[in-house]
Amino acid sequence: MEAVDILVRSLSKPVPMGTGRRMLQYHGRSDRHSKLACWGILFDLLRSSSVLRSQVESGEVVFGVNHTMKSYAPEKSKKLDLVLCRPEFEQVPSPRAQTLESLAEHYGVELTPEQERMLKELPTIYEAPVGNVLVAFEAKACMTEHVKALPRLYDELNSSHQIVHGHSSNALSVGFAMVNASETFLSPTNEGKVNTHSQPRVMQRTIDTLTSLPRRSHHSDQGFDGFAIVVVDMTNDGTPCELVTTPPAPQPRDVLHYDRMLQRVAHEFDSRFSRR
């Protein structure tokens, strides 16, 4: 699986962010990290699901970015980072439509030569008006002030799967959370201030809270169909972002490890949406 490697490498490159256009790797008011994470998940899912690749090639599946979903019961709405869906209209994609490849350039996705080769081998998936949603992705990050951010982080992720399944119990809801293990972090909202973190305590508390999010094994249950936690070490001062693989980060056999999540979602997609 490539998404985590792509995310870490891409976040290592500072870009202008915020009202002052400071060179930063992360800003809480930017959705750059969410876009990079969801791009990588879709990239991996296309490589892992033969059913998805086939339906993309035939034009049966497109994607939508920042799509507002509305649940049937209870009646609520939420903007989701990325959705896979049936196209709303049967028509040839617009020549100006975004693709996974064009989004890579637009988002500043940093790929290795091997990953670029993998991308070119995939069928072209287009952005188009959203019809029936098949998979909805929501990515969040907890990079600083962990304890203060926890209630909102939990509520935003929890409301995601509730609205997706309130819209359609057959749709897959996929969540992704990035947690920072660094002891310091350059504040993106208070120039020059460096926040300090009591590590590993706040990281562990954040992971424990995220682990308690509901997950479902049947379409009648409540919770995410796939959920992953990734731990990074990032100070936001231009120092390269690094992936943390030691505990308490999820281990390869843990259900919340990214690779396990991706394998599960690919299997669920193949089982649920194959044209048998």
* Segment 111-156, tens digit of pLDDT: 999 999 999 999 999 999 999 999 999 999 999 999 999 999 999 9
The gap from C-alpha 10 to its chain's centroid, in whole angstroms, comes to 14
Q: For residue range 86-111, what is the model confidence (pLDDT) as tens digits? A: 998 877 677 789 999 999 999 999 99
In residues, how long is the chain?
276
3-state secondary structure 59-103: CCCEEEEEEEEECCCCCCEEEEEEEEEEECCCCCCCCCCCEHHHH
Question: What is the rounded distance in angstroms from the CA atom of residue 98 to the CA atom of residue 87?
Answer: 14
pLDDT-derived band at 31 (thresholds 50, 70, 90) equals very high
Which is more confident, 225 or 28?
225
pLDDT at 276 over 60: no
Nearest of 122, 80, 79, 118 to residue 99 by alpha carbon: 122
Of 32-36, 67-71, 140-144, 157-161, give the lowest mean pLDDT range.
Answer: 67-71
What sections of 19-70 are H helices per DSSP? 32-48, 50-57
Full-model pTM: 0.95
pLDDT at 191 over 60: yes
pLDDT-derived band at 192 (thresholds 50, 70, 90) equals confident
What average pLDDT score do residues 210-225 get? 92
> Residue 233 forms beta bridges with which residues?
242
130-142 and 77-87 beta bridge pairing: antiparallel
What average pLDDT score do residues 158-178 get? 95
For the chain, give the mean pLDDT.
94
